[in-house]
Amino acid sequence: MIKKLLKSNPTKSENDLGFGTRNYGKYNRFLNKDGSVNIKRRGRSLLDSIDLFHEMITISWTKFLLLVISSYVVINLLFASVYYLIGYQSFGNLGHVSEGKDFSELFFFSAQTITTVGYGYIYPKGVMASTVAAIESMLGLLGFALATGVLYGRFSRPKSGIVYSKNIIVAPYQNISGLMFRIANAKQNELIEIEAQLVVTMKNLQTNTRAFLPLSLERVKINFLALNWTIVHPIDENSPIYGFSAEDFEKADTEFIILIKAINDTYSQSVYSRISYKYDELVYGAKFRPMVSDTNGKGVAVINIHQISEYDSAEIPLSQK
């Protein structure tokens, strides 16, 4: 079926996603599994390429908290070192016991200064110590204001909460076969007006270019993602991948790109989710197991999200092989 692809795919893609038509190698991924674009932009200065706000609101909570805590400790260590170099005699109520004791006392004085708590037990004396303390308190006000803004941005940023099946499969579908993957809402909020778009990108073996072709779906929109949604592309004679085998998908370096749009009713804002499956994540001849939904005894339906990727082997109709 590769010959069919060569004949049917024009040089200009029918569905331009912004990736162009160039083929970059034997195994190239346009979207990472987390939905981010697999492209690194170069040619700019270091300062122009840094986007701290984007990094702070997109990194994991674990990394964010570690960064905040480590920054807090490092800054206090730096200022404690400066205070130590100034000398213990420049601070009231700081009796010289040992170098380690002096440094620990100045570290906690720095923590009190940067947070503007100021218990008053240890206080600066002289111009040098007071100047450094004033600078630290100003930096503390600015730093905590920025941290609060980033924290608010992380909480207020709407997310889809959509989880995907681990694999995309070719399964029996209404006397033919269908390309299928499954999604569900992992959060307790509601997603409404969910729309799906599926695009396949394959390599043209003659021109060594890429083609991006839209795949029609059995259903492109649902009102609620209450349980799960198995998104199906019927592989009929009008499908660009009609008659393709698993080997054909591999030869064409196939990638299936999924774009999901929905409205998060908690934020009343549109949310977007993206993912892609490469040919080695395609299971040929399978069928998703039904996700078991039950009630909790109080009239509330319960769905097990961990079952979203489970499938069994299935026979594909002979006409589709």
Tell whether 132 and 22 lie within a shared domain: no
- CA atoms within 13 A of residue 117's CA, in its CB half-sphere: 10
User: How far apart, in whole angstroms, are the C-alpha atoms of residue 80 and residue 140?
Assistant: 14
Query: Which of these, 200, 170, 178, lies nearest to 31 by C-alpha position?
Result: 200
**Amino acid (1-letter code) at residue 98:** S
Range of the domain at 34: 2-39+159-320
Q: Which two tokens stand for residue 199?
A: 């695009």
Tell whether 127 and 212 lie within a shared domain: no
Tell whether 94 and 147 lie within a shared domain: yes
User: How far apart, in whole angstroms, are the C-alpha atoms of residue 304 and residue 298?
Assistant: 17
> Total domain count for the chain?
2
State percent of the chain over pLDDT 70. 90
Neighbours of 190 (CB within 10 A): 14
Tell whether 119 and 22 lie within a shared domain: no
pLDDT value of position 11: 44
Tell whether 9 and 115 lie within a shared domain: no
Please give the mean pLDDT across all residues of the chain: 85
Q: Of the candidates 156, 183, 214, which is a domain's last residue?
A: 156
Average pLDDT over residues 230-250: 90
Query: pTM for the complete prediction?
Result: 0.77
Tell whether 117 and 244 lie within a shared domain: no
- Condensed to tens digits (0 to 9), the pLDDT of residues 175-199 reads 899 999 999 998 888 899 999 999 9
User: How far apart, in whole angstroms, are the C-alpha atoms of residue 310 and residue 170?
Assistant: 14
- Condensed to tens digits (0 to 9), the pLDDT of residues 115-160 reads 988 888 899 998 999 999 999 999 999 999 999 999 988 888 888 8
In the predicted model, is pLDDT for residue 37 greater than 90? no
User: How far apart, in whole angstroms, are the C-alpha atoms of residue 22 and residue 25?
Assistant: 9
Q: Which tops the pLDDT comparison, 242 or 46? A: 242
In the predicted model, is pLDDT for residue 216 greater than 70? yes
